[in-house]
Structure 1
Amino acid sequence: MQSRRKLRYRLIVSFALFGFGLSALFAVASLYVRAKVEDQLVVSALQHDVDQAVDKVIAHPDQPASSELIDAWMWSDRTIYKAPLDWQTLSTGVYDMNDVDEQGRPRHYKLAVRRKDGIIGFVRYDVSREELGKRQLITALVLVVFLFSVLSLAIGVWLSRKVLKPVSELANRLRDFRRAGKAEPLAPHFADDEVGELAHALDEYSARLTAMVERDREFNSDVSHELRTPLAVIASTTELLQGSPDLTPKLAERLKRIERASRQATELIEALLLLSRAERRGPTRGETTEVGKVATDVIESQRPQMRGKPLTIELEVRSAVSVNAPASVLAVALTNLIGNAIKYTLEGSVQVVVGDGGVEVIDTGPGIKPEEAERLFQRGVRGEGAGGSGAGLGLAIVRRLCELYGWDVAMRPRTDTNGAIASITFS
């Protein structure tokens, strides 16, 4: 999984780690080089000094031994007993020695020994100053590492602000556009760099999106006008025909069916247009709708689907329920739920129960599988036994309407017998 840390934070950490790593590497390398060079120089100098001192004694026995370094001693095999006890058995070479001085303080020194022709030479080199210098170097290097790390961190913070300032400004302008509800060109406010290219791409995307929204708004307006006009003509013509004195009962029933279908189509169009507008601006409220009344109208409009079926439908209002939404929205939702129940139930009953802050549609159809209940609300998904009619959009529209107004819609199988229960819970 990719890291979700902010780019500025990653930049700061990268600079800090780079500075620390570089400083630490420099410190380690400095210590190694110093130790290597110091050891080579000290060993070479001591050995050279003791060699020249022994050679001088051999060449000039009458002259006292001398050394180019401080604290040099020369003994023979007969006088070696005068040397300190821990020196007497040492062979030619350079040794690290530790003892105490005349004041009883610990002392660390290097001792060079040379044995040649019965002459034994010793040169003592005090390395206390070297150790002090080493401690001082370590202290200085630790301070340098700390200062380099702090400097790298400061540079990282400064660079992150400098580099990411255009990105932050671009994000702030986008937030301002969202609050203002309109978009303005972004590219003129930024330089011709990567951020400017991003702003230009966002401007192009915003222009395309605005044009698409405008086309959608114009289309909705045109559809609303073009569909409402013929439906209004159908409704008015049906009303005039129903007032005819020579109207037969059979013809009157057919006119009522036309009237209900026209009203249902009008409500569906209004609900869809309302859904289209509300998804951009928010739901329309302020209108109180009685759920029981809308359910009664929907049941009456769906009765023609029951013809030829041994099926009964009844409404049970256990308590009055009102919602703050247009009646057309509730009618579309209930029409889909009740219509599906009648469509899938070949025999038995469909019961619509209003109460407890919601409405339930209970049928005795084939039922649904629990794992498919949620999938039925997806676009294009149809239940088993749907036949050849329908496109699988009804429940998807119901879900969108319910989400818009904060209602909960669900489907579940019955546990007492075959069938399904569709419910809407109003918040």
Structure 2
Amino acid sequence: MLKINRIGRRIVFAFLIFGVTLVFVFGVILVIALQSFEANMLDDILYTELQEYQMQIKNAKTLGFPNSRMTIHTYITPFDEIDDMPVHVRDLTQGFHNVTYNDRYFRVLVEHIGETRFTVQFDETSIRQHGRDFVYMVWLCSIIILIIALVIGWKVSLRVINPIKQLVKQVSAFKHQPGESLDLSVFSDDEIGILAEKFQHHHEQLQQLLIREKEFASNVSHELRTPVTSISLAAELMSAKPNLSALEFGRIRRIQRAVDEISELIETFLMLAQIKNESNLFHDDCALMPIIRKVIEQQRVWLGDKPVEMIIEEKEPLKVKAPPGILSVLVANLVRNAFRYTNQGTVTVSTTTSQLIVTDTGAGINAAMQAQLSEHTVNDNSGNTDRARLGLSIVQRICERYGWTLSFNSAEGQGSQFTVLFF
């Protein structure tokens, strides 16, 4: 849901950026246009006033305010009497000027005609105050526009995000109710509705695939169990015969071990094929140490007469939320590989509050297989390590299914250590 909220925030942010940019550009243009219009208007007024005075008083040389009005004052001064003019306009050159004097603002036009200096002054203090009020009004309107943009962006984001949230909610429900279907009626006939239809189509295909997989696993397990059971019973009957030679008894034991291993593989594949989200449905804590001891006794046959010491260390009690059968398969594959490929030394199985650690002093793992383990692609079926590869592949699949982490540390000829982190 965090990513969906980010999409909504991005939509609102986009509207906000658009609103800020639009308002800023519009406000700046409006203020600049106002100031330019004001300056041009005042310059036109001053120039018009000057032209009128020039026409009315062509030879005037009197200092003062002839025809002075409230906002416009005109000074007509000979050059030798300029020092008698007001200080704020005395030293101005010809042209237009902005002058501030006694906290008032003036627009001044100065022009020399013959021996006379014409100075027209316009008091624009009130105009500037109105201009500031206008700028404040522009920014106030800008803030209102930004608020409106935020509200519109929020509304639009809700209209866009709500269907996505509904789709995510319904798809997430598949995790706990795999057989459920999407309610397509809540989606409009748009891109999200099309996406929901595609999700539904793929979900139905996956459900059909799972059903076929379960049926296949059930049928195959039934077909395989019958001959395996027959072989197992035949081996038991043969081992019960009197006067068996050591060679014959050894061969029968090899048959029984092979039958036991095939039976374990059948049960493992059947369980892996049928489990669907059981990691979320199984809530009972299962103690791992009793399973470890039982598995070790079952797998001791792989040690035979090899000088290998078996060490069990329960550093801290470990309980895992998973079916005992799955835990048994996990431990059995790790222990079996350790027993099979350790000719001398030790095999240590230890637990902490969150980890299962299986360490051996056996043959170790070559670089090629380590690369496959790191990439989760244990698929090479060559050489004498077929069963080891298959066992590690099963362990990887179980860990992936339940969200556990499998790590290893191994050097060829120096042994291996496998660690399963449960939480």
- Common fold by TM > 0.5: yes
Q: Say which is worse superposed, 218-227 or 67-76, in terms of deviation.
A: 67-76
| Aligned partner of residue 180 in structure 2, secondary structure | coil
Partner of residue 296, structure 2: 295
Partner of residue 216, structure 2: 219
Q: Which structure's CA Rg is the greater one?
A: 1
Partner of residue 103, structure 1: none
Residue 347 of structure 2 is aligned to residue 352 of structure 1:
yes
Q: Say which is worse superposed, 44-53 or 291-300, in terms of deviation.
A: 291-300
1:95–1:312 Cα change, 3 Å: closer
CA contact (8 A) 1:267 1:332 kept: no
| Aligned partner of residue 58 in structure 2, secondary structure | helix
Letter in 2 for 1:314: V
Partner of residue 232, structure 2: 235
CA contact (8 A) 1:27 1:141 kept: yes
CA contact (8 A) 1:292 1:354 kept: no
Partner of residue 314, structure 1: 308
| Aligned partner of residue 183 in structure 1, secondary structure | coil
* Whole-Å separation in 1 of the counterparts to 2:160 and 2:362: 67
Q: 2:414 aligns with which of 394, 415, 419?
A: 419
1:70–1:238 Cα change, 3 Å: closer
CA distances 1:246-274 after superposition (whole Å, capped 9, x unpaired): 65443333222212211121012112222
* Whole-Å separation in 2 of the counterparts to 1:407 and 1:118: 102
Letter in 1 for 2:360: I
| Aligned partner of residue 125 in structure 1, secondary structure | strand
| Aligned partner of residue 72 in structure 1, secondary structure | strand
Q: 1:148 aligns with which of 145, 149, 154?
A: 145
Q: How does 1:310-389 map to 2 (within 5 A)?
A: 312-317=306-311, 325-326=324-325, 327=328, 330-339=331-340, 341-342=341-342, 349=344, 351-353=346-348, 360=358, 362-365=360-363, 367-368=364-365, 375-376=372-373, 378-380=376-378, 386-387=383-384
* Whole-Å separation in 2 of the counterparts to 1:90 and 1:376: 89
CA distances 1:279-337 after superposition (whole Å, capped 9, x unpaired): 5423987698453453243232564xxxxxxx824343556899883355543442233
Unaligned runs of 5+ in 1: 101-105, 304-310
Q: State, as a whole percentage, how many aligned pairs show the same letter.
A: 21
| Aligned partner of residue 194 in structure 2, secondary structure | helix
Q: Aligned-pair distance for 1:239?
A: 2.2
Q: Aligned-pair distance for 1:38?
A: 1.4
1:313–1:268 Cα change, 3 Å: farther
Partner of residue 97, structure 1: 99
CA contact (8 A) 2:345 2:362 kept: yes
CA distances 1:320-364 after superposition (whole Å, capped 9, x unpaired): 89988335554344223322x15xx5xxx2543456676745345
| Aligned partner of residue 120 in structure 2, secondary structure | strand
Partner of residue 19, structure 1: 19
Partner of residue 400, structure 1: 397
| Aligned partner of residue 154 in structure 2, secondary structure | helix
Letter in 2 for 1:157: W
Aligned residues: 401
* Whole-Å separation in 2 of the counterparts to 1:84 and 1:228: 119
CA distances 1:155-187 after superposition (whole Å, capped 9, x unpaired): 111111122221222222223343434321333
| Aligned partner of residue 122 in structure 1, secondary structure | strand
Q: 2:105 aligns with which of 104, 108, 115?
A: 108
Unaligned runs of 5+ in 2: none
* Whole-Å separation in 2 of the counterparts to 1:141 and 1:230: 90
Q: Say which is worse superposed, 399-408 or 147-156, in terms of deviation.
A: 399-408
CA RMSD of aligned residues (A): 4.0
CA distances 1:350-386 after superposition (whole Å, capped 9, x unpaired): 5434566767453454x44799757547433669x94
Q: Aligned-pair distance for 1:397?
A: 1.6
* Whole-Å separation in 2 of the counterparts to 1:318 and 1:65: 117
* Whole-Å separation in 2 of the counterparts to 1:139 and 1:185: 54
Partner of residue 37, structure 2: 37
| Aligned partner of residue 129 in structure 1, secondary structure | helix
Q: Aligned-pair distance for 1:15?
A: 0.6
CA contact (8 A) 1:71 1:124 kept: yes
* Whole-Å separation in 2 of the counterparts to 1:172 and 1:393: 38
Q: 1:132 aligns with which of 129, 132, 135?
A: 129
Partner of residue 250, structure 1: 247
* Whole-Å separation in 2 of the counterparts to 1:407 and 1:93: 85
Q: 1:158 aligns with which of 143, 151, 155?
A: 155
Partner of residue 54, structure 1: 54
TM-score, length basis structure 2:
0.79
* Whole-Å separation in 2 of the counterparts to 1:133 and 1:153: 30
| Aligned partner of residue 192 in structure 1, secondary structure | coil
| Aligned partner of residue 334 in structure 1, secondary structure | helix
TM-score, length basis structure 1:
0.78
